[in-house]
Structure 1
């Protein structure tokens, strides 16, 4: 990675987590640590700056010692709104984006997103598990800000549709699809903790 390219890490913690009894997923403990702490640990070694995108519990998120940035709107517009917020806030050429609830993802996985985008000179690299895209795992150029702003302003929210219109490449994680196991319910959380202890 050359020193000219500034990379900002973005942790998406802006959702409502309706299936988690509206608990804030990033703050729910996984193996005794808040889930967001795994995302912070994965991103920290590879970025120049790290920000958390959250729309509630701002004080708790600030306790991690990172800038906490809310969406431009207060209507919980989904992950793209968080990405746009980060693009506006960050002074970086590239953003590496991940959600707050994927504790199995490591620095190495995220570096693959970065390198895939760079090697293919794409505007955005998206994680692909061999069967489907995981559109909240991105390495994305901040130059897409205007396109994203226009898309959201037109009332659209679907992340996959917007990504398909960009110069996009897939980062292949078909050898480790299980890392994208995100945790949507308390039962899934308990099951994943148990699995890992076998």
Structure 2
């Protein structure tokens, strides 16, 4: 357990699955979102869900649901900004927020610890996860202090790509192994769900 809250980014439109909420699809009997919650709850001091539309659809999870407040659904940066603003208002002692994709069912159990260790060791403002030589920009640590600068980038500069924004700051990158499975596997298609069912057995069910 850390003093870092976490946000689950669950606002995607799931076009490649025919629409709907990707995180609500089931893998080996449990929703993807429940798997994400189970992984992150022991690592964070609390969790929120970032999603747009009717928040009641997430009521069963018992977590605060925070919508974007930047117009036109500009993507994950807006969700991260919403989480930083929520943290500043509700967890004023928290200096960092973990973000994670709501469609990654096998997140590492040491995600927060390793990101925080690397960020502190490198005196970085941000930290991001990587595996197989590929960074995962929506999975990382964000400084609450930077929320004003992030809002400016989104609203005034129309910035959408996470990598463009993080390039402005000292960034720690932490690599995870991809065996026996990539912990950042994400379920984007119907085929991915079938593969996730197989991987769940390697990950302990």
Give TM-score, length-normalised by structure 2: 0.88
In structure 1, the residue matched to 2:142 is: 140
> Match of 1:180, SS?
coil
- What is the CA deviation profile of residues 87-112 of structure 1, one whole-angstrom value per residue up to 9, with x for unaligned ones? 00112211011011111113313321
The answer for unaligned runs of 5 or more in structure 2 is none
CA distance in 2, matches of 1:10, 1:125: 15
In structure 1, the residue matched to 2:172 is: 169
> 1:94 is matched with which residue: 90, 93, 96?
96
Are 2:129 and 1:127 equivalent residues in the alignment?
yes
Contact 1:17 1:184 in 2 (8 A): yes
C-alpha distance 89-197 of structure 1, shift in aligned 2 (>3 A): closer
In structure 1, the residue matched to 2:186 is: 182
C-alpha distance 74-35 of structure 1, shift in aligned 2 (>3 A): farther
> 1:39 is matched with which residue: 36, 40, 48?
36
CA distance in 1, matches of 2:192, 2:178: 22
The answer for unaligned runs of 5 or more in structure 1 is none
CA distance in 2, matches of 1:158, 1:62: 30
Q: Which moved more, 1:112-121 or 1:62-71?
A: 112-121
CA distance in 2, matches of 1:161, 1:174: 25
* Equivalent pairs, count: 195
> 2:76 is matched with which residue: 79, 100, 117?
79
Contact 1:16 1:76 in 2 (8 A): no
Are 2:64 and 1:61 equivalent residues in the alignment?
no
C-alpha distance 64-160 of structure 1, shift in aligned 2 (>3 A): same
Contact 2:33 2:102 in 1 (8 A): yes
CA distance in 2, matches of 1:61, 1:122: 34
CA distance in 2, matches of 1:57, 1:181: 27
- What is the CA deviation profile of residues 166-186 of structure 1, one whole-angstrom value per residue up to 9, with x for unaligned ones? 111101214557111111011
In structure 1, the residue matched to 2:11 is: 14
CA distance in 2, matches of 1:195, 1:99: 18
